[in-house]
Amino acid sequence: MTERYNSYRPDGEPTADRWTGALHLFDDSKDGAVVAVREETAIERWERAGLLFEEKQYSAAAKLLADLVDEHPQHTAARMLLARAYYHSAQLTRAEEQLRVVLERDPVDHYAHLMLGRTLQRQSRATQAAPWLRMADAFAEEG
């Protein structure tokens, strides 16, 4: 929890998620008795991860998303965002791992095919990448 209040952009400004998070700081206060610094719900962490991702804070987003995906393994959107966050922070093995899980659960996810192809390409595994990229094209045409 300590990271959430200590995240800053490169220019020294607090990240966007801190601005939105601040609005929830006193949500649980009753009768003026403050429940100091409440735990975030999963939804709040999901939203905050999205904000961090938009601001290109990919490693920070990945940390949040990794926990979310552990707690909610069925949440494909979170897993995809996690894969993309790993991809953009050059954690390619982890990106690949997450994408393969997505594809096991949803073998026709076009974007996951595309991403896995790209992830393999970036790891200089072009031969392995090729079938995934072909499938991505095939699904794209049908869509």
Partner 1 sequence: MQFGIFTVGDVATDPVSGRKPTEQERIKAMVEIALKAEEVGLDVFATGEHHNPPFVPSSPTTMLGYIAARTQRLIMSTSTTLITTNDPVKIAEDFAMLQHLADGRVDLMLGRGNTGPVYPWFGQDIRQGIPLAVENYALLHKLWHEDVVNFAGRFRTPLQEFTSTPRPLDGIPPFVWHGSIRSPEIAEQAAYYGDGFFANNIFWPKDHFQKLIGLYRTRYAHYGHGTAEQAIVGLGGQVFMRKNSQDAISEYRPYFDHSPVMGGGPSLEQYMEETPLSVGSPQEIIDKTLTFREYFGDYQRQLFNVDGGGLPLKTVLEQLDMLGEVVQVLREEFAKDRPADVPEAPTHASLLANRETQDA
Task: Tell me the C-alpha to C-alpha distance, in Å, between residue 51 and each of 41, 48, 64, 89, 92.
Answer: 15, 5, 11, 16, 22
Query: How far is it, in rounded angstroms, from Cα 102 to Cα 111?
Result: 10
Choice between 55 and 137, CB closer to partner 1: 55
Rounded to a whole number of angstroms, the minimum distance from the CB of residue 31 to partner 1 is 11
Contact footprint for partner 1 (CB under 8 A): 1-2, 5-6, 8, 12-14, 18-19, 21-23, 25-26, 29, 32-34, 36-37
Rounded to a whole number of angstroms, the minimum distance from the CB of residue 17 to partner 1 is 10
Choice between 22 and 42, CB closer to partner 1: 22
CA nearest neighbour of 1 among 18, 14, 13:
18
Choice between 51 and 95, CB closer to partner 1: 51
Q: Are 104 and 73 in contact (CB under 8 A)?
A: no
Rounded to a whole number of angstroms, the minimum distance from the CB of residue 7 to partner 1 is 11
